Amino acid sequence: MASNANARTLDDFLDYLQVERGSAKLTIAAYASDLVQFAKFLETRHIVLSKVRREDVREYIQELFSNSLDGRSVGRKLSAIRQLYRHLLLDGKIDKDPTLNIDLPKQWKVLPKSLTRDEVKTMLAERPPHNESKRSRALALRDRAMIELLYAGGVRVSEVADARLADLKLEMGYILVRGKGDKERMVPLGAPAQQALQHYLKDGRDVIVNKKISPLLFVGTGGRRLTRQRVWQLVGKASIASGRHASPHMLRHSCATHMVENGADLRTVQTILGHSDISTTQIYTHVALDRLKSVFAKHHPRAKAKGNL
């Protein structure tokens, strides 16, 4: 069992710290805490400490960052792991240090969180409004059209809040978006997003503005501009059905991730998302690769098979 083997490895290392190096109890306790956490991560993957690869260490660090741990704390945990593997290497327990050439925490980019396609599908499913009032139906049409746009075009929350009615070119299948630095870009819209927007414009928007005049595409009561916080609330509310709390950023990241998974080239994704630098877009190749490896390990009949080489 991985857990038993890992426990023995950690006990030996902590004894070494206490006896050979005379480390203080506080230091030993800190190492123990960090290394036990690392061991638990490995056990969920049925990996023994002595068989860890560099990729395993990188995945662990990435998970720490994904859980919003700061760089200083991640650096401390990485230092404990380095010390463990230096000890194992010197002791002849391993022949290769998996922590070699691991980037410093400040050099890491946090991989964005994204939703699965099923989760997005559940979010975008049509639901009846809370009541049958005209206003309630209109708000439901607005919210669905807004979420469709967030996912279809990978637009930022501020770009949705600032979108103008004149920017939408439904007959041509795109919307003109003003991004960072007031740069404009054309974002194509798929059929579901076009239909949702069409229904909102036909049966929802006029009811919400209530005879007021507003240049904005998505409006609050009386034609007021929706705040970024309000858009976040509406997306979070819609995500309840998927069983996972989502944000506008997650829909943007999901759009990019799913496009890359389906074979979209990075330049196209860069243009749609409005990234000024292709290096920002390249992070989605890592997201797609991680998911590809996960799906392979879970579903391929020989992914875990141990054959004779």
Active site residues: 156, 180, 249, 252, 275, 284
End-to-end alpha-carbon separation of the chain, Å? 23
Q: Which residues of 154-179 are buried (b: 16+ CB within 10 A; e: fewer)?
A: bbbbebbbbbeeebbeeeeebbebbb
Place of tokens 């858009």: 231
- CA separation for the pair 149, 163 (Å, rounded): 11
At 188, list the tokens: 């194509």
- CA separation for the pair 309, 298 (Å, rounded): 22
- CA separation for the pair 18, 21 (Å, rounded): 6
- CA separation for the pair 294, 290 (Å, rounded): 6
Ordered alpha helix ranges (H), 125-227: 134-153, 157-162, 191-203, 205-209
Amino acid sitting at position 289: L
What SS3 string covers 209-266?
HCCCCCCECCECHHHCECCHHHHHHHHHHHHHHHCCCCCHHHHHHHHHHHHHHCCCCH
* 243, 230 Cβ separation under 8 angstroms: no
